């Protein structure tokens, strides 16, 4: 059979043809899957989680990176909660028009215009903006603004009316505080600011008829302040528990991600040659099984490489140098394969195999010669070689139909390799 030595065969059209993508092989693949990338990213935030748990969340704030992740994962559900609460509040807010007839009959039309003509449209507009998505600061500020507007509107109506029974309407501000702190659960510091603003606003304006006494105002302020303290305490506990629960859940996810990353690494290592890092015999067998099971092409080619006079290399330079040489050769072969789905593996000692799905004999010969020349061009010193003073390769090539026994095709490549050695080495045989 003919051999190729020291010369490049003429190019052919299919030398760089890209075969259908073969099943992935773990050891040769450098890019991880999207799930593995997500697990790796999640595993990196473990220390940040522990740091936040140690702080005990007194200020209800995570470290910046974790706060951003918290908002990313909970922001949409938070916005939905605010929207649902706001819809309920708008309905109840307008139902109070019926009690306005009883409590402030002298300004009923004004109440209709304020409640239905001003505050409701503003609240609906705010909800529409919130629905389109807002940064967390803007979203929480907007919801706090809705709460404040409802309180201001009630103070305004109480300031206009002269109805003697209107003081009984003042506890309505307690409902506003309750709504903001417990129903929609404004973020704690927004809830504090909103509650204080409502109480201070009421104390300064003293809305109501001229008959409203200072004692009544004081009682109302005390009632509102008490409500604010109770509901703010509940708000704080709820938000702290929510954040702590999120951290604990995230920690479990991180632990699962770390385990997944470790398992993926162990799997990768089990299919990789420990010395060179390329595919090992186990990965080769798995890869060939995938190829034969999926059969996305008709032919397959094999190239068997053997480092010429490698025993002499070890005797001359020592085994550590021999290990480095094997690693260099493996890296050169791996880097010189351009087609999707091709595989290079170390199958023992100084022997390597290249699998070429959907490659004809001529394509395989060209690739084998290119790889042989790439190793020779690296000029790895081999003064003990009787061929050349650098590392060289002998190669055997075979190809066949996927319908045939793959082991038969592989055996033909092994026979071709022996012919290459018999022909003087540093050549490609078929």
Residues 342-361 have a mean pLDDT of 93
Containing structural domain, residue 174 = 46-255
Counted residue by residue, the chain has a size of 430
Instruction: Tell me what pLDDT residue 261 has.
Output: 80
Instruction: Tell me what pLDDT residue 44 has.
Output: 82
Q: What is the pTM of this model?
A: 0.64
Instruction: Tell me what pLDDT residue 119 has.
Output: 96
How far is the C-alpha of 109 from the C-alpha of 101, rounded, in Å? 9
Q: How many domains are contained in the chain?
A: 2
Same domain, 291 and 412: yes
Instruction: Tell me what pLDDT residue 270 has.
Output: 81
Instruction: Tell me what pLDDT residue 225 has.
Output: 97
Instruction: Tell me what pLDDT residue 8 has.
Output: 36
Instruction: Tell me what pLDDT residue 218 has.
Output: 93
Using an 8 Å Cβ cutoff, are 115 and 94 in contact?
A: yes
Task: List pLDDT tens digits, range 217-270.
Answer: 999 999 999 999 999 999 999 999 999 999 999 999 998 888 888 887 787 778
How far is the C-alpha of 59 from the C-alpha of 413, rounded, in Å? 70
Question: Residue 207: CA atoms inside 13 Å, Cβ hemisphere, count?
Answer: 24
Q: What tokens were used for 104? A: 């402030």
Using an 8 Å Cβ cutoff, are 302 and 397 in contact?
A: yes
Specify if 33 maps to a domain: no
Q: How confident is the model at residue 32 (pLDDT cuts 50, 70, 90)?
A: low
How far is the C-alpha of 409 from the C-alpha of 405, rounded, in Å? 7
Same domain, 196 and 294: no
Instruction: Tell me what pLDDT residue 16 has.
Output: 38
Same domain, 251 and 320: no
Surface-to-core class of residue 297, CB atoms within 10 Å of its CB (0-12 exposed, 13-18 middle, 19+ buried): middle
Task: List pLDDT tens digits, range 314-324.
Answer: 999 999 999 99
- Give the least confident one: 17-21, 171-175, 198-202: 17-21
Same domain, 210 and 281: no
Residue 20 pLDDT more than 80? Answer: no
Residues 27-50 have a mean pLDDT of 70
Task: List pLDDT tens digits, range 360-397.
Answer: 999 999 999 999 999 999 999 999 999 999 999 999 99
Which residues contact residue 228 at a Cβ distance below 8 angstroms, ignoring those fewer than 6 apart? 177, 181, 195, 196, 199
Chain CA centroid to CA 303, Å = 39
Chain CA centroid to CA 134, Å = 22
How far is the C-alpha of 134 from the C-alpha of 126, rounded, in Å? 11
Q: How confident is the model at residue 191 (pLDDT cuts 50, 70, 90)?
A: very high
Q: What tokens were used for 222? A: 């005390």
Q: Is 141 left (phi over 0), alpha (psi -120 to 50) or beta?
A: alpha
Residue 22 pLDDT more than 80? Answer: no
H or E stretch covering 4: strand 3-4
- CATH code of residue 422: 3.30.70.270
Same domain, 99 and 215: yes
Instruction: Tell me what pLDDT residue 403 has.
Output: 77
Strands (E), 192-335: 299-307
Using an 8 Å Cβ cutoff, are 308 and 393 in contact?
A: yes
Same domain, 227 and 171: yes
- The strands making up 299-307's β-sheet, listed across from edge to edge, are 3-4, 428-429, 393-401, 299-307, 351-357, 343-348
Same domain, 249 and 360: no
How far is the C-alpha of 13 from the C-alpha of 298, rounded, in Å? 18
Domain ends where: 226, 255, 284?
255
| Average pLDDT over the chain, rounded to an integer | 88
Instruction: Tell me what pLDDT residue 402 has.
Output: 82
How far is the C-alpha of 336 from the C-alpha of 279, rounded, in Å? 15
Instruction: Tell me what pLDDT residue 29 has.
Output: 44
User: What is the per-residue DSSP string for 233-271?
Assistant: HHHHHHHHHHHHHHHHHHHHHHHHHHHHHHHHHHHHHHT
């Amino acid at each position: 059979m003919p051999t190729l030595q020291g010369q490049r065969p003429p190019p052919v059209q299919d030398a760089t043809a890209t075969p259908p993508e073969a099943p992935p092989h773990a050891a040769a693949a450098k890019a991880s899957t999207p799930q593995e990338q997500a697990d790796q990213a999640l595993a990196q935030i473990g220390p940040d989680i522990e740091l936040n748990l140690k702080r005990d969340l007194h200020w209800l704030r995570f470290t910046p990176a974790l706060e951003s992740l918290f908002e990313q994962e909970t922001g949409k559900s938070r916005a939905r909660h605010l929207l649902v609460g706001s819809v309920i509040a708008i309905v109840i807010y307008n139902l109070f028009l019926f009690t306005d007839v009883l409590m402030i009959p002298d300004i009923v039309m004004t109440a209709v215009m304020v409640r239905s003509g001003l505050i409701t449209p503003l609240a609906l507009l705010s909800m529409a903006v919130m629905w389109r998505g807002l940064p967390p600061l803007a979203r929480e500020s907007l919801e706090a603004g809705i709460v404040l507007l409802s309180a201001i509107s009630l103070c305004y109506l109480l300031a206009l009316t002269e109805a003697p029974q209107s003081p009984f309407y003042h506890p309505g501000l307690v409902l506003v505080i309750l709504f903001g702190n417990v129903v929609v659960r404004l973020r704690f510091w927004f809830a504090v600011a909103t509650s204080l603003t409502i109480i201070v606003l009421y104390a300064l304006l003293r809305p109501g008829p001229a008959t409203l006494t200072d004692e009544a105002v004081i009682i109302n302020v005390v009632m509102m302040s008490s409500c604010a303290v109770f509901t703010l305490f509940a708000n704080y506990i709820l938000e702290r528990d929510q954040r702590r629960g999120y951290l604990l859940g995230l920690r479990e996810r991180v632990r699962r991600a770390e385990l997944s990353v470790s398992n993926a690494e162990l799997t990768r290592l089990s299919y990789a040659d420990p010395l060179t890092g390329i595919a090992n015999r186990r990965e080769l067998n798995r890869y060939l099984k995938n190829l034969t099971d999926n059969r996305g092409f008709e032919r397959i080619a094999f190239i068997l490489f053997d480092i010429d006079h490698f025993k002499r290399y070890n005797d001359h330079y020592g085994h550590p140098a021999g290990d480095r040489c094997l690693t260099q050769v493996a890296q050169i072969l791996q880097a010189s394969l351009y087609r999707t789905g091709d595989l290079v593996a170390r199958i023992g000692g100084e022997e390597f195999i290249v699998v070429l799905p959907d490659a004809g004999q001529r394509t395989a010969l060209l690739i084998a010669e290119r790889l042989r020349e790439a190793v020779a061009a690296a000029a790895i010193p081999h003064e003990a070689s009787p061929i050349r003073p650098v590392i060289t390769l002998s190669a055997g090539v075979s190809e066949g139909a996927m319908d045939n026994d793959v082991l038969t095709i592989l055996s033909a490549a092994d026979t071709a390799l022996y012919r290459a050695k018999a022909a003087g080495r540093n050549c490609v045989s078929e």
